[in-house]
């Protein structure tokens, strides 16, 4: 009888121990890659700031809120690593090994990248171009020290923007944007997925696979913004959508498109300009004679 009591007590102890949740631990912060980009660099007044340089040597436009505050980023990274997947996009699994092998270094950069791109929800975060994570991964693949490319070159001060010509034709008072004046995105969402939430945008730049958004969703958001006279999700950013063909009208429209795109899910929470051809169109319009 005593023997039975001892056995039952041991079993009860084992059950009690096994029922306790496993302890979670934070990742080693020294192993978290640096962003290499400072949020809010060279703002253009429409929600765009400078990220890393693109293939043309010019900065890629990113939302000015990107990259996010580092403490916020690390907190979410810890949550994702402890869960074994991206909490805001559970289909994306991650790990954060702490040894110095090539595979482990790349796994850590992948964990950092998918956390960045899904920080506000599935596909709703900051683009990889808001960091030097891509360059650091290339350095690791080449057997080089990622610290050598961790910091992006200091950008040149942004030139004073040229004063746009006054729009000649006002937009309809209640939105009602003419869809024929909304250019195609020029990029298909979900192109060449890499399994980590990255797909390809303009010039093969990595963008969230959810970008660009569905066209009907985009036009509905654009109509709401135009009717309000500002970005509904970021009210400090004013916009208009005149219907004429002057340089000023075209500048105002492309600005409205970019602002809507970059704030479609919240302030600074949208898709980067490189998920469309709108940035390239803006450059062409700005080069037109006044």
Per-residue pLDDT tens over the stretch 30-82: 999 999 999 999 987 777 888 888 777 888 888 888 999 999 999 999 999 99
Range with the lowest mean pLDDT among 125-134, 148-157, 190-199, 207-216?
148-157
Percent of the chain whose pLDDT exceeds 70 = 83
Range with the lowest mean pLDDT among 159-163, 176-180, 268-272?
159-163
Query: For residue 273, what pLDDT band results from cuts at 50, 70 and 90?
Result: confident
Kindly state the greatest CA–CA separation across the chain: 100
Please provide residue 71's backbone torsions phi and psi, each rounded to the nearest 5 degrees: -65, -35
pLDDT of residue 204: 84
Q: What whole-number distance in Å separates Cα of residue 107 and Cα of residue 276?
A: 29
Residue with tokens 């060279």: 42
pLDDT of residue 152: 62
pLDDT of residue 7: 45
Residues in the chain: 290
Range with the lowest mean pLDDT among 6-20, 90-104, 208-222?
6-20
**Does the N-terminal peptide bond of residue 212 adopt cis geometry, omega within 30 degrees of 0?**
yes
Q: Are 160 and 254 in contact (CB under 8 A)?
A: no
Q: What whole-number distance in Å separates Cα of residue 242 and Cα of residue 252?
A: 7
pLDDT at 210 > cutoff 60: yes
pLDDT at 4 > cutoff 50: no
Average pLDDT over residues 112-129: 84
CA distances from 241 to 5, 177, 227, 253, 272 (A): 81, 7, 9, 5, 20
Average pLDDT over residues 244-251: 90
pLDDT at 24 > cutoff 80: no
Q: At what angle do helices 70-83 and 102-117 cross, to 10 degrees?
A: 110
Query: CA Rg, the chain, in Å?
Result: 24
Query: For residue 5, what pLDDT band results from cuts at 50, 70 and 90?
Result: very low
Burial group, residue 40, by CB count within 10 angstroms (0-12, 13-18, 19+): exposed
What pTM was estimated for this model as a whole? 0.59
């Amino acid at each position: 009888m005593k023997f039975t009591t001892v056995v039952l007590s041991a079993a009860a102890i084992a059950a009690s121990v096994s029922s306790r949740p496993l302890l979670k631990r934070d990742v080693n912060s020294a192993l978290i890659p640096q962003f290499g980009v400072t949020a809010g660099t060279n703002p253009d007044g429409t929600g765009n700031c400078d990220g890393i340089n693109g293939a043309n040597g010019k900065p890629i436009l990113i939302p000015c809120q990107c990259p996010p505050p580092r403490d916020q980023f690390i907190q979410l990274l810890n949550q994702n690593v402890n869960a074994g997947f991206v909490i805001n996009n559970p289909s994306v699994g991650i790990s954060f090994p702490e040894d110095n092998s090539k595979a482990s270094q790349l796994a850590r950069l992948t964990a950092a990248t998918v956390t960045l791109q899904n920080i506000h929800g599935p596909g709703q975060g900051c683009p990889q171009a808001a960091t030097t994570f891509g360059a650091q991964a290339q350095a690791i693949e080449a057997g080089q020290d990622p610290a050598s490319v961790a910091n992006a070159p200091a950008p040149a001060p942004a030139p004073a923007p040229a004063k746009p010509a006054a729009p000649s034709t006002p937009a309809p008072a209640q939105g009602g944007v003419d869809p024929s004046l909304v250019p195609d995105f020029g990029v298909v969402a979900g192109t060449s997925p890499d399994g980590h939430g990255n797909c390809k945008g303009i010039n093969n730049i990595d963008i969230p696979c959810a970008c660009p958004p569905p066209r009907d969703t985009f036009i509905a958001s654009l109509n709401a913004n135009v009717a309000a006279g500002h970005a509904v999700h970021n009210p400090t950013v004013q916009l208009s959508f005149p219907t004429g063909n002057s340089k000023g009208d075209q500048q105002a429209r492309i600005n409205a498109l970019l602002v809507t795109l970059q704030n479609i899910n919240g302030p600074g929470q949208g898709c980067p300009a490189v998920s469309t051809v709108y940035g390239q169109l803006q450059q062409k319009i700005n080069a037109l004679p006044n």
